[in-house]
Amino acid sequence: MWNSFHFRYAVCSFVWSLDWIGKGGIGDVRVDRLRNDLIDVIFATYATYFDGLMSRDDKAQRVYNHATFILSSITDDA
């Protein structure tokens, strides 16, 4: 289960949600911005299987870094 894409996506989505909550929510955010963020979450999820995320997007990097930390706390192969 720990190594499944669905679990890793759930962890990345959780981190992404906390990032938005920390900024006050998504009340006035455009739909295209949310769509872009969800695609970045998918990229961050795939990157947890490899050595890093090849993106300059700060939020995508934060999601990847925090998700990798959480996954490495749960199991040794994140």
Number of domains in the chain: 1
Q: pTM (2 decimals)?
A: 0.87
Count CB-CB contacts under 10 A for residue 36.
14
- Per-residue pLDDT at 77: 55
Q: What is the DSSP letter of 28?
A: T
- Provide the pLDDT confidence category of residue 60 given band limits of 50, 70 and 90: very high
Domain encompassing residue 64: 5-74
Neighbour-count burial of 47, counting CB atoms closer than 10 A to its CB (0-12 exposed, 13-18 middle, 19+ buried): buried
Question: 61-74: per-residue pLDDT in tens?
Answer: 999 999 999 999 98
